Amino acid sequence: VISERDILGTQLVRRNDELALLYEKIKIQHSMLNKGEIQYRQRVDDIRLLRMEIKKLRREKHLLSKSVSNLEDLR
């Protein structure tokens, strides 16, 4: 009985070590996931800002084209 108890105790220690490693891996992956989500949100914001800039530049181009055509009409 004592021998079986010692074997079970040893197995329990090993299982606890394995469990601690798995929890550490989960913690690392969770941290990486959070960092990835932050970077993703930043890229989405960058895209949103760039799209707004494109719209602004297109409007400006359109206005400049109109003004050029108006100048040609005046000549």
Reported residue count of the chain is 75
- What is the predicted pLDDT for the residue at 70? 79
According to DSSP H, which parts of 1-75 are helical?
Answer: 2-74
- What is the predicted pLDDT for the residue at 75? 66
Q: Which two tokens stand for residue 51?
A: 């799209």
- What is the predicted pLDDT for the residue at 74? 74
- What is the predicted pLDDT for the residue at 44? 98
> Running along the chain, 75 residues long, what does each successive block of 10 average in pLDDT?
95 98 98 98 98 98 90 74
Which sequence spans correspond to the domains of the chain? 1-74
- What is the predicted pLDDT for the residue at 5? 95
